[in-house]
Amino acid sequence: MSYERLDRQLKAFSDRLIEEVGLKEHETGKVATSVAAEVRFLEPGSRAEVQAAGPVPLRDRLDELQAFQAWMDIASSVRSNAAVTRAQVIVQNYVCFVYLNEACFRALRRVSKPGSVTRRCCAYLTDNPVRAFRNAIAHSNWTYAPDFRGLVYWANKGSDPEEALSRFEVSQGDLDFWQALSRGVAYAA
C-alpha cells in the first residue's frame, strides 16, 4: 500500500487527527509519509529496539499485516453474510488493537522523538480510550451494540486491575477512525 493512499485515507479524519491526536493541520495530509520518514531516520539503536520488540521477526509481522489486508479486501467484497461480517469485525479489532499494539505501537512510542507525528499517533493508539478498548478485545469483554452501529465493551476506567469493569460504547465512526489510524501507522512504520 502506498504512503499517498494511506495519507488520503487518513486525511478524511483531519478534524479528529487535530482534536484527538494533537496533530497540526498541515500534518494531517501526510501522516503515513511522516511516520515512514520518522521511522526511517531513527537512530540505529532505536530501530533495533523496534525490531526486537518481540520474538517474531519483523518480516513475519509484515507478512501477517499483508495477509490481514488481503482478508479485509476479500471480506469487504462479501455482502449480506453475517458470518463473514462478524469474522471481519473480530479479525480487524484483534489486529488493529491487540496485535499491532504489542508488535509495533508501544515500541515505536518509546523510541520515536518527542512531538513527532509517530509519537503522537502511537500515544493515542496506546492510551485510553483505545487502550481500554484493546483490553476489552483481548479479554473477550465486548459485544455488538443493540442497533449494530458500534460495539459495547467493559474495561477499567483507570489502571487498577482490581477496579470493577465499567460499560462503554464505541460508535462505528470511532472504530473507523481508530482502525484507519492503526493500519496507517503500522503500514507506514
Question: What cell numbers appear for 37 in the block?
Answer: 520518514
Highest mean pLDDT among 52-61, 86-95, 160-169: 86-95
The predicted structure's pLDDT at residue 158: 77
The predicted structure's pLDDT at residue 52: 81
Q: Are 136 and 155 in contact (CB under 8 A)?
A: yes
Residues 119 and 157: their CA atoms lie apart, in Å, by 23
Considering the entire predicted model, what is its pTM?
A: 0.93
> Regarding predicted confidence, which is higher, 30 or 2?
30
User: Is residue 48 scored above 90 in pLDDT?
Assistant: no
Q: What is the pLDDT of residues 118-176, one digit of tens each?
A: 999 999 999 999 999 999 999 999 999 999 999 999 999 877 878 899 999 999 999 99
The predicted structure's pLDDT at residue 1: 60
Q: Are 107 and 53 in contact (CB under 8 A)?
A: yes
Q: How is the chain split into domains, by residue range? A: 3-188
